[in-house]
Amino acid sequence: MKNIRVLIADDHPIVREGLRLLLAGERGMELAGEAVNG
């Protein structure tokens, strides 16, 4: 099964950090990158 690749885009560092931590615990999901704004 292929991983789902996710891009996080938010201007608040704490939100990006929280989402990064949530994704780290999920099987089948991979963080592709981050952006400060979309």
Amino acid 37 reads N
Cα–Cα distance measured from residue 2 to residue 21, given in angstroms and rounded to the nearest whole number: 20
Instruction: Tell me what pLDDT residue 29 has.
Output: 95
| pLDDT number for residue 12 | 97
pLDDT at position 24 is: 94
Each residue of 1-38: pLDDT tens digit?
899 999 999 999 999 999 999 999 999 999 999 999 87
Beta strands, E only, 1-38: 4-9, 29-35
